[in-house]
Amino acid sequence: MNQGEADLRSRIAGTGPAIQIPPGVQTSPTTVGEAIPVVHGTTVIAVKFDGGVINVGDRRATANYAVMYDRAEKVLAIDDYTLLAISGSYARAMEVVRYLRHSFKYFERSQLQPMSLDGKLSELAKVVAASLPAAMQGIGGFIPVLSTYDQDASEGRIFFYDAMGARFESTEYAAAGSGSHQIRGVFDYIVKTRRPFHTMSRKEALREALLLLDIAADLDAATGGWSKVLPLAKTISASGIEDVAEDELTELTTEIAELER
């Protein structure tokens, strides 16, 4: 293990030195020393569709009551068939994404085969659990949603975690972040009154996910809407990971906005 990887592992575990922030960047009142400010608050959503999984996330990153950034990327590719939607501490989540990318690639190169799905889920569970002490202090905690396309089963799969690293698999959907609680019942309403997400077309499922994100933005101050910046959306299927084009997002968000008038 080289020094860079050792430092990264120690930061993930919460035992390494704090990352210094550049001059001129203000820290949150809950920041410890000169560590990266606490950035949290969001809504990220994963829903299945007939052929894979759609991930949607708002772009707002907050620190307490301040909007730190309105173009944050919260749905990130870990490898060719794995997406991670992040909520909680944005700084810690970025460290975790870097660690997982390195870990998956190192395993593939050293073992001459990709890491198994169970191995990937276990690696993520470790870093979620390692963040618990920081989360209990009000800093550094995060909750992810992992989406993948299982090539053996030929289906998209969604996994979510609790703060202690326990993982659960969802049959239809998952959400995380400060706005996820407000829309929890809406998922069930859609499934029971329309149809399950996994039977929907890509466009239908994307529209429902964007509608859910819009409701979360209306009910949660830390979740950004799309009047200024379009949300981020990615799909994962047998073809791999693809970005949803801005034109398609604009069309669907405009359609949803018309319903509210």
| 42 labelled catalytic | yes
Q: Which residues in the chain belong to E strands, given as ranges?
A: 44-49, 52-57, 61-63, 66-69, 75-79, 82-88, 142-150, 155-161, 167-170, 173-176, 232-237, 240-243
How far is 166 from 173, CA to CA, in rounded Å?
Answer: 17
**β-strand pairing of 44-49 with 173-176:** antiparallel
Q: What are phi and psi of 167, to 5 degrees?
A: -110, 150
| List 42, 82, 223, 253, catalytic entry | 42
Nearest to 30 by CA among 128, 110, 118, 139: 139
* Greatest Cα-to-Cα distance within the chain, rounded to the nearest angstrom: 58
Catalytic sites, residue numbers: 42
